[in-house]
Amino acid sequence: MNGVIDALDFIERIKTRDWKSVPLGRTVAVIGAGNTAVDAVTQAKRLGAERVLMVYRKTAEEMSAYEYEYELAKMDGVEFVWQAAPVRILSDERGLSLQCEKTDGSNQIFEIPCDMIIKAIGQQKQVEFLQGVGIELDEKGRVIVNTETMQTTNPRIFAGGDCVNGGREAVDAAQTGKLAAQGIHFSLTGEQVEFAGAKIPFIEKIHGEMPAFTPAAYDEPAIPAEDLGIKSYG
């Protein structure tokens, strides 16, 4: 539908710095209240949108965005519509409208007229696929890993990012990628390596917040390289 865009696509276009290619309406409604949603509302406002609204089905206290991100959005003049669950997007000759239902018990139906809607409501993991390949999840649906190597309960598979930590910053995903690379290297070769920045206080921060398991100690690669079809050219 014209005028409706995913938040990640919106932010990706902004990163190109080709400002003329970034779609922008006069009145922008952003669905969601995570850090990505805050990025979308602040960027839309700073790019020149006259009015930007964040629409969230829960209360301000329940939003998942960091407090400082929320404060930045308020300073940018973003408006907030709390306890409003989007029902459908309407489109006619007058433009777009986001129909919502109040979740405060009143069940009131109302519409937010706008000419651009940004969806920042996250993505879902393919749980059946993960379980089908032997990867265990915790009670919150996060992939269980060894927090030092990012190895899952299937020793052939390593994981990182939002599927493991439940949703954090891109830098956290990048760091789990470094840890996974170290873990994969050790699993294949038995050699311990450490990439620059891999031990920044990530582990200390994530312990207690990220599901983890402790595999049995081993002194050689968990999976011989030849078993994975990897040839040696040494």
User: d(Cα 58, Cα 65) in Å, to the nearest integer?
Assistant: 13
Q: What is the largest CA-CA distance in the chain?
A: 71
Length of the chain: 234
What domains can be seen in the chain, in order of their start residue?
A: 4-119 (3.50.50.60), 127-226 (no CATH)
Sign of the alpha-carbon dihedral angle for 12, 15, 16, 20: positive
pTM for this model (two decimals)? 0.60
Q: What percent of the chain has pLDDT over 70?
A: 80
In sequence order, which ranges of 93-225 are alpha helices (DSSP H)? 127-132, 162-165, 170-189, 202-206
Low-confidence winner among 11-25, 45-59, 145-159 (lowest mean pLDDT): 11-25
| pLDDT tens-digit map of 29-72 | 999 998 889 999 999 999 999 999 999 999 999 998 888 889 99
